[in-house]
Amino acid sequence: MRSLFSLHNIIIGLLFLIPIIALLGFGFYFLWLKGWLYYGIAVISANTVLFSLLTTWRSHQKKPLVVKPIDVNPNPNWSDEAQDAWAELNKFTKSYSAKTDLLSNPNKILKLTNEILLLVATHFNAKSKYPILEFPTPYLLKLISLICEDLQREVLDKIPGSHAIKIGDLLLAKEYYEKGIKIKSVYNVLNHLFNWPGAALGKARGLLMDGGFNLIREEVLQNLFSAYINKLGFYAIQLYSGQITLDDISPIETLSDVSKKDIKKIKAYEESLEPLRILVLGQVSSGKSTLINKLFGEIRTAEGVLPTTSKITPFKLEREGLEVATILDSAGYGGLEHEDAPGLLKKAWEEIDIVLIVCNASHAAREEDAKQLQKLRHEFQLHRKNRTLPVIVAVATQIDRLRPFREWLPPYNIQEPQSIKAQGILEVCEAISKDLSLPLGFIVPVCLAPDKPTYNLDDGLIPLIHEQLDDAQRARYLRCLKNQKDKSYWREWRKQISNTGQFIIDNSGKIAEFIKISH
């Protein structure tokens, strides 16, 4: 390869640079002859200083100077514990200050990577001696494949021409860049010899502009590493929270085993999308069965003062304003109970997305309701950390029986009560909210009396459920995720045992010969 400073290259460089330098020299000479030289220098200097001041001022603004930060959003289907881990990661990202040498120091990048993984892993596996290693090998390989797919999309979408540029082209461009730096040094020498005023002014302008460009570089660097921290943290949370599955389908795209059984019972739809599962709880004679019948517009379950069964009975609900759901009718509690009712109810908690707890507004005894919700919350807090608590809505029935007894002139605005009846309904809702530890907005007063028009079912309860669909769908996703991972876990065991058995059968002769030789 020819040397860059061969006679041939030097001649070509001079022929290229001399006209440019001469033009600059004649320009300054012309300004000097006209007496405008100092004005010209002043204008160029003022422009350079203004640029430097603007970039310095802009660096203190909240908005990005050149590029917008790369947004990495949390998975909406994460459990509450995973959301807390994401909040910790955001604090780390905001407190982290990127250094220029990170790009050229692999050890520092590895140290940063280890800090991120340890932060997330410790959140989920605080009691483990090696929290970073708390995952099976196939899930790590699955994670790597997901990251590669994500990087492929990012490169194709964000880097123009990435599908056409070869790795060799990048190496060639680096080689040309290094040659260009050497040629620039020759240009600077000639510029100082033949055009010292322009060279001095260019040096001053370069010092000022370098300050502005440094600000831009620091901002881009900070955005780059913030995106790296958030992206790596995102996948770490996916891994350690159990969100990654070995299957390539979404957990809600196939029916769970419990939904298949319920669908067979009700002999209804054959859709493959997992429905929302709504459990209806309530004390005996609270109006629970009446609520279910009103939701369907027909008699679906027996009404009475005694529990008719200990079983959880499923019904398919298709109602305007609400996606297809499975209503689960449970036995009433707080009175005579079947022996196996509590166990069946606890088992049902595993497979629900929404809880409707029905309270009789005319009865103040809500200790049993509070106990049920306390058990439910305790179960999810201690034993289902990778799940999220189902949406809980309290339905206050029989509000028509509140004082004054003979008054019934709906609708009643309990946000701004204008009558004694409305004030009484508000007080009951506030009492239920306090007793059950629920927000007041999650208490819906209704009238389901057979001799009166149904009140606040379509205008109150159904809209509230619809408003909470995002949280209910998150609960459904995490429920189905666990179901899918459980099936995948045992499926892989069966497959591996089968493969091992087949290997032994196919190689029985060699195995027998090996055993004979070893003895």
pLDDT digits (tens, 9 = 90+) for 145-156: 777 777 677 666
Would you say residue 358 lies in a domain?
A: yes
Q: Is the pLDDT of residue 375 over 50?
A: yes
Segment 56-84 shows an average pLDDT of 70
User: Based on the domain organization, do 280 and 207 belong to the same domain?
Assistant: no
Asked if the structure places residue 247 within a domain, the reply is no
pLDDT interval class at 439 (50, 70, 90): very high
Kindly state whether residues 396 and 375 are assigned to the same domain: yes
Please state, in angstroms and rounded to a whole number, the distance separating the CA atoms of residues 453 and 449: 7
Instruction: Give domain status of residue 484, yes or no.
Output: no
One domain, residues 17 and 85: yes
Eight-class DSSP state of 459: I
Reported confidence tier of residue 299, pLDDT bands at 50, 70, 90: low
Same domain, 16 and 70: yes
Whether residues 451 and 509 fall in one domain: no
* Cα–Cα distance measured from residue 155 to residue 425, given in angstroms and rounded to the nearest whole number: 59
Residue predicted with more confidence, 424 or 209: 424
Q: Token match 């606890």: residue?
A: 346
The whole domain housing 232 covers 7-240
Same domain, 174 and 262: no
Same domain, 212 and 102: yes
Strand 354-360 relative to strand 443-445, pairing: unpaired
- Would you say 513 and 422 are in contact if contact means Cβ atoms under 8 Å apart? no
What is residue 300's predicted lDDT score, i.e. its pLDDT?
60
Residues 502 and 462 placed together within one structural domain of the fold = no
**Does a structural domain hold residue 284?**
yes
Total domains in the fold of the chain: 3
Lookup result for tokens 């998975």: 75
Q: How far apart are CA 189 and CA 410, in angstroms?
A: 92
Q: Go through 20-41 and write b for each residue having 16 or more CB atoms within 10 A of its CB, e for each that does not.
A: ebeebbeebeebeeeeebeebb
DSSP state, 237? H
Q: Are residues 93 and 138 in the same domain?
A: yes
- What phi, psi does 265 have (nearest 5°)? -65, -45
- Asked whether 296 and 290 are in contact (CB, 8 A), the reply is no
Confidence at 50, pLDDT banded by 50, 70, 90: confident
**DSSP three-state, residue 424:** helix
Please check whether residue 261 lies inside any domain of the structure. Answer: yes
Among 79, 90, 80, 85, smallest CA distance to 229 is for 90
Range from 106-115, 408-417, 491-500 carrying the lowest mean pLDDT:
491-500
pLDDT: is 306 or 174 the higher one? 174
Quote the distance between the C-alpha of residue 128 and its chain's center: 25
Same domain membership, residue 363 and residue 221: no
